[in-house]
Amino acid sequence: MRRPPRETEESARGISRRALLLGVGQTALVAGLTLRMRQMQIVDAQQYRLLSDQNRINIRLIPPARGLIFDRNGILLAGNEQNFSAVIVREDAGDVPAVLQKLAQLIPLSQEEIDRTERDLKRHSPFVPITVSDRLSWDELSRVAVNGPALPGISPEVGLSRYYPLVEDFAHVVGYVGPVSESDLAHLTDPDPLLQIPKFQIGKVGFEAIEEDKLRGTAGLKRIEVNSVGRVMRELDHKDGQPGENFQLTIDAKLQDFALARLQNESAAAVAIDVQSGDILASVSAPSFDPNKFVRGISTADYEAYNTNDHRPLVNKAVQGMYPPGSTYKIVTALAGLKSGTLKPTDKIRCPGYIEVGGRKFHCWKSSGHGVLDLEGALEQSCDVFFYTVAQRCGIETISEAARTMGVGVRPDLPMTGLAEGLAPTKAWKLKNRKKEWLIGDTINSAIGQGYVLATPLQLALMTARLATGQAVMPRLIKSVNGVDVPIVPPDPLPMQGAHLNAVRQGVWKVVNSIRGTAHGARIEDPTMVMAGKTGTSQVHNITAAERASGAYLNLPWKERDHALFVCYAPFDAPRVAVATVVEHGGADHQAAPMARDIMLFALTGGMPPLSAYPAGVRSTVETLQKNLQLHDFSAENTVKTRA
């Protein structure tokens, strides 16, 4: 049956519309694909090329060179040495245990190191390189490199590691670095990505820790190309980081070396300060330790040996050790009495050998007494009764205020760890910390540096420097940063009369230079280097009346013997250096004084003290001592030979 013409025309028009719509759709689709292909191949080509490269390019951090530390004369105290190591990347290694076992056949690798590496790999991202073994020899590094194809994920690395050429001399001042730990990271809110690198070294104690952010520097970057199995093919790009800042300390390495050797095997500390600038010239704590052992992680045996030593080599006694200052504190008591007006330089006080207060006897060190003395004589002979009397007159608040003025009981602002504040006690302090009222006996004990009074060797050196100059000398440790000198801030004058300071100075001059002085045997004979000083003995064992009567206190065990102290400055007429020494349990023979004198002479002369500066009667003994000192050899430039 034939369709009508009208129906046929309508059907044709419908087909034409559908064909047109289909054609438009096809055209739009082709155009969209064309535009998308243009976008991908031309406009976004760089982006997709980068995404593709990421499948074969790794980006790694480059640890920067740690800043160097020098002494005041440019002698290296903390440097960096080349360190060969083998690292592993978990993402590239595949079968990690198998790879590590192969590596163990090429280089010395204990099961402990293997286990530690596997733990580190699990704790970090699979792309982070983990150090398997460091301190490799050149031959060991070469074996790792040559066998690279058989060790997927393993690559040899050449980096830097910290070392301390003067070994124990600066262990307590400079401190040391060690591998970053979980504990280190836990204390940081926004840790540097460098710290995520296993075995990355950061400052642990001392100057290294305080100035860590400046010494560390900033990381560099490198892009490396790897093949399909993760083997490094080539380095595409390398951008070095910013090295850490270089520091020059105020300490004189030769003086530091001599001072530590002079303390010999004692448990002791010594500090020397330039009284004009406040520069710390030496700060030693004996015995010391080898900081290089901590750089790679100290062994349990070595740490136990240090930790169980009753002379406490790991403690920085110069700034952490708090000791009753003993009779060196009579300088403070004298100044307190003079400033308050309760004591005049010409006042005379009789010493019968003791003073009785509240039904209790407080003895003088000389049981028969010193007779009638003025201030200079009381300092010269270190009469306890004289200062007991002064303390009763002026009171503990005045004494402690004078102590803080002189630097005792105030924490110094220095880039050192463990700085102790010391203690200049007051009535309020005892009530708060001991829950007891202050007693007159407490004041009397404080007058001679006993009781609650505590000071560090650094504070005692600072006290002496302030006495010598009449200025509020501030200690400093940094001389320059990156070659730019740190300016010296002129100190303010002490709030004390010059006549009062001179009266005390004359007394401490007599301590050393008068025949009756308690440190006469430690005097300096050279008239250009005449020294003033003050001896001190602080009890650590309460001597009973029976022990005093029998003399048993003279033969106490080492840990119950008195500490020996000495503070001094020289030259007397034009002070340059102040020194403080503390010998733990050194007894009452004042061996601290000869040590301080020798350190003073070395500081003033710049080398081994000449025998002509010593009293004639001790020159042969001093000569023998000097010959037996084990010192570093500073003769060759940039070369330091360690002690035998």
Provide the CATH number for the domain around residue 486.
3.40.710.10
Please give the residue that has the higher pLDDT: either 409 or 93.
409
**Number of domains within the chain:** 2
Q: In angstroms, rounded to a whole number, what is the distance separating the alpha carbons of residues 568 and 463? A: 10
Residues 238 and 333 in one domain: no
Q: Which of 85, 161, 288, 327 is catalytic?
A: 327
Among the residue ranges 82-91, 170-179, 279-288, the one predicted with the least confidence is: 82-91
Residues 229 and 320 in one domain: no
Predicted pLDDT at 641: 41
- Please, which pLDDT band fits residue 63 given cuts at 50, 70 and 90? confident
Return the sign of the alpha-carbon dihedral for residues 471, 253, 574, 598. Answer: positive
Which residue has 């650590």 as its token pair? Answer: 540
Classify residue 619 as exposed, middle or buried by CB count within 10 Å of its CB (0-12, 13-18, 19+): middle
Segments of 352-457 assigned E as strands: 354-357, 360-363, 371-373
- In this structure, is residue 31 part of a structural domain? no
Average pLDDT over residues 617-624: 95
Mean pLDDT score of the chain: 88
Predicted pLDDT at 337: 98
Catalytic residue list contains 367: no
Q: Examine the pLDDT at 625 and tell me if it is beyond 80.
A: yes
Q: Examine the pLDDT at 548 and tell me if it is beyond 60.
A: no
Q: Between 96-104 and 111-123, two packed helices, what is the crossing angle to 10 degrees? A: 150
- In this structure, is residue 399 part of a structural domain? yes
Residues 140 and 287 in one domain: no
The model's pTM: 0.84
Predicted pLDDT at 150: 83
pLDDT in tens, 463-500: 999 999 999 999 999 999 999 999 999 999 999 999 99
- Please, which pLDDT band fits residue 523 given cuts at 50, 70 and 90? very high
Q: Examine the pLDDT at 186 and tell me if it is beyond 80.
A: no
Predicted pLDDT at 559: 77
Residue 131 forms beta bridges with which residues? 87
- In this structure, is residue 462 part of a structural domain? yes
Predicted pLDDT at 635: 77
Q: Examine the pLDDT at 622 and tell me if it is beyond 80.
A: yes
Segments of 470-620 assigned E as strands: 478-481, 484-485, 532-538, 563-570, 577-583
pLDDT in tens, 101-117: 888 888 888 888 888 88
Residues 354 and 243 in one domain: no
Residues 222 and 286 in one domain: no
Phi/psi at 369 (5° precision): 85, 165
- In this structure, is residue 190 part of a structural domain? yes
Residues 317 and 234 in one domain: no
Predicted pLDDT at 54: 47
Query: Is residue 335 within 8 Å of 500, Cβ to Cβ?
Result: yes
Share of the chain above pLDDT 70, in %: 87
Residues 317 and 224 in one domain: no
- In this structure, is residue 471 part of a structural domain? yes
Predicted pLDDT at 423: 98
Query: Is residue 345 within 8 Å of 372, Cβ to Cβ?
Result: no
Q: Examine the pLDDT at 639 and tell me if it is beyond 80.
A: no
Predicted pLDDT at 490: 94
Average pLDDT over residues 511-530: 96
DSSP state of 333: H
Predicted pLDDT at 3: 61
- Amino acid identity for residue 66 in this structure: R
Predicted pLDDT at 590: 66
Q: Tell me the HSE value of 184 on the side-chain side, using a 13 A CA sphere.
A: 21
Instruction: Give every CB contact of residue 443 below 8 A, 6+ residues apart in sequence.
Output: 391, 392, 395, 396, 399
- Amino acid identity for residue 125 in this structure: S
Domain with 186 in it: 68-161+181-201+217-247
Sheet holding 532-538, edge to edge: 280-286, 268-274, 577-583, 563-570, 532-538
Residues 569 and 426 in one domain: yes
Angstrom CA distances, 407 to 150, 157, 319, 403, 467, stand at 65, 50, 13, 6, 11
Residue 195 belongs to a domain with what CATH number? 3.90.1310.10
Q: How far is CA 47 from its chain centroid? A: 50
Average pLDDT over residues 576-602: 92
Q: Examine the pLDDT at 379 and tell me if it is beyond 90.
A: yes
**530 C-beta neighbours (distance < 10 Å), count:** 16
Classify residue 632 as exposed, middle or buried by CB count within 10 Å of its CB (0-12, 13-18, 19+): buried
Q: Examine the pLDDT at 431 and tell me if it is beyond 60.
A: yes
- Tokens of residue 455, six digits: 């000071």
Average pLDDT over residues 150-154: 84
Share of the chain above pLDDT 90, in %: 61
Please give the residue that has the higher pLDDT: either 39 or 529.
529
pLDDT in tens, 206-247: 999 999 999 999 887 777 776 655 555 676 777 777 899 999
Please give the residue that has the higher pLDDT: either 484 or 540.
484
Q: Examine the pLDDT at 610 and tell me if it is beyond 60.
A: yes
Residues 135 and 225 in one domain: yes
Average pLDDT over residues 30-39: 75
- Tokens of residue 571, six digits: 């030259």
Predicted pLDDT at 12: 60
3-12, 13-22, 222-231: which is most confident: 13-22
- In this structure, is residue 531 part of a structural domain? yes
Residues 190 and 262 in one domain: no
Predicted pLDDT at 13: 64
Residues 346 and 492 in one domain: yes
- In this structure, is residue 57 part of a structural domain? no
Q: Examine the pLDDT at 642 and tell me if it is beyond 50.
A: no
Predicted pLDDT at 91: 75
Which residue has 């600066």 as its token pair? Answer: 170
Residues 233 and 324 in one domain: no
Predicted pLDDT at 638: 47
3-state DSSP call for residue 616? helix
Predicted pLDDT at 534: 97
Query: Is residue 221 within 8 Å of 39, Cβ to Cβ?
Result: no
- In this structure, is residue 268 part of a structural domain? yes
